[in-house]
Structure formats: structure tokens, C-alpha cells
Amino acid sequence: MSLDLSHPPVLGALPPQPTVDDFSDRTFGRITALMYETVGLSMNETKKSLVASRLAPRIQRLGLRGYDDYLALLLDEHEAAEFQMAVDLLTTNETYFFREPHHFELLEKELIARHSRAPLALWSAASSFGDEAYSTAMLLTELQKSGQIGPDWSILATDISHRVLLSAKEGVYPVDRLRHVSPERLKRHCLRGDGPAEGQVMVKEEVRSRVRFGQLNLCRPITGIGPFDIVFLRNVLIYFDAETKRAVIDRVAATIKPGGILFMGTAEGRAHAESGLEPLVPGAFRKPVKR
């Protein structure tokens, strides 16, 4: 079934916004099953009101009659962009630079302690709008200039959302997103906007050029990337059920070099014992070196 959206409704012709009372259990179940099967997003019946409220404005904007019409749109293989929009609406991409600073402190100590100028490969596995990847690039730029690491380092940043990746590549942020960046570091790595761009900052090209962005679904087999010395897998596991979470950790851990480190959100629990990862500090785990 294909819905003709070539002529979006004018503002005055928008239908009423649907409510949770218009959202049947059957349609809710089909939407959540689709999200789980496709991207691993787990939402039980307690999330029905949340899903309804997140999707309602979009349904109204498209001029659809309700949730059943929107489900039909999501099931249409020619409407991949709309499916991606739904994923964005149902997940929270709020982030900021140098989130969970103790992880970056550990990373800095780890790299300095290696006393090596060997190549480094890092992966931001759920990069969202790029805050995490650029934070890491700022740190590594500074370590390189001080001679603590060599010049051959790279950062891969991936996310399931094409929309947030496009934004991340631009490297432009509200200044509040950099509230944990020191004034010295901010001046070193960013340009402040003025005029219409006042209140925004742009990450300098020197930093942006060291980050490569790509789309990746963590709930599918991971091929063609790695191995990595450091992987960030933070603030994404909260969207998965226990089984999916274990599978994602195992997939990601397989890309880490022996002796490498996996960072997870400190509120997301521990890596399961069978993964073989050894805890270092809350949210940080080392992949053991086989003997």
C-alpha cells in the first residue's frame, strides 16, 4: 500500500492530531514489532502512550487519518525515509560533548600509559549527532600535538539514523551542548558564530576531518570494519531488551583488539560475563589478551 504524499496538506487543512485513544492495541503491537524486528528497539505495552504522543504530530503533519495509515506508510518499502523518521521520533538523541567525563579521563590515561605512536582506531558505535566522536577527536588532537600519540589515528562514527548523521557531519551545535568543554579547549577546537549564527559553534575542520561517519544497524551482523583499539557503545543499549543487548555487546566486542577497551553508559549496567570483557571502572571494560 502506498500513500500519496506528493502534495502535503496546507496548514489550515490539517486534520486533528490523533490521541492514544485512537491507537488500537493491534496497531501499537504491529508498530512495535516492526521496530523490534528491524532495529532492535524494544517497547512494551507501558510505552503505548509515549509512542502515541511521539508519532501524533507527524501523523497530523502528513495529513493522515490516524495510526493505521501511518503503519501502512511504515510498511511500504518505498517509504524508507519515513521509517527512518519514525525511528528518530521514538528514540532520544539528547547528548553533549564530553558526556561522562571519567571515560575520557580514563582514555587519556590509557593512551599516555601505552608510550606508543602506533596507529590507533576508535569507533563511536552509536554516535548520534557526533558529540562523542568530536569530543574524542579533540582529545586525540591534543595528545598528538603533545607527542603522547602518533599522527596515525582515526575515528569511525556510526548511527542507525541517516538524519542525525547528516547533522553530525556539519559539526554545528548550540553552545550549550559544549557546556562541559573548557574555554581553552573551546577556543582551540571551535569557531563561535555571530549574527544569525550567534549562540552556535562549529567544530574546526582540523577536528572534523578526523572523523568518518557511516550508517550502521547494531542489530545486524557487523562486517567490514575494525579491529578497533577503543569502542564507545554508550546510551544505546537502554533501547534493547536483555537478549538483544547481549547480542549487540558480543558483536561489538568481536571488533575490539585484545587489550582494547569498550565504553558503555554507566547507567546501562555491566557487560555480561560470557562476553569475556573485564571491568575497569564503571562503564569501562577491557578485552583480555589471550595467553
SS3 content of the chain, % helix, strand, coil (to 5): 45, 15, 35
Q: Which residue has the cell 506528493?
A: 6
Angle at the Cα of 32 from the Cα atoms of 30 and 36, rounded to 5 degrees: 115
Q: Whole-angstrom Cα distance, residue 109 to residue 143?
A: 11
Active site residue 177: no
Catalytic choice (26, 114, 152, 159): 159
Q: Which residue has the cell 496546507?
A: 10
Own/partner pairs, 81-84, CB within 8 angstroms, 24+ separation: 81/162, 83/38, 84/161, 84/162, 84/163
Q: Whole-angstrom Cα distance, residue 228 to residue 131?
A: 19
| Contacts of residue 153, Cβ cutoff 8 Å, sequence gap at least 6 | 119, 120, 121, 122, 140, 144, 210
What's the DSSP call for residue 253?
H
User: Which bin fits 171, alpha (ψ -120 to 50), beta or left (φ > 0)?
Assistant: left
Catalytic choice (21, 25, 26, 54): 54
Q: Whole-angstrom Cα distance, residue 19 to residue 9?
A: 20
Active site residue 54: yes
Active site residues: 54, 159
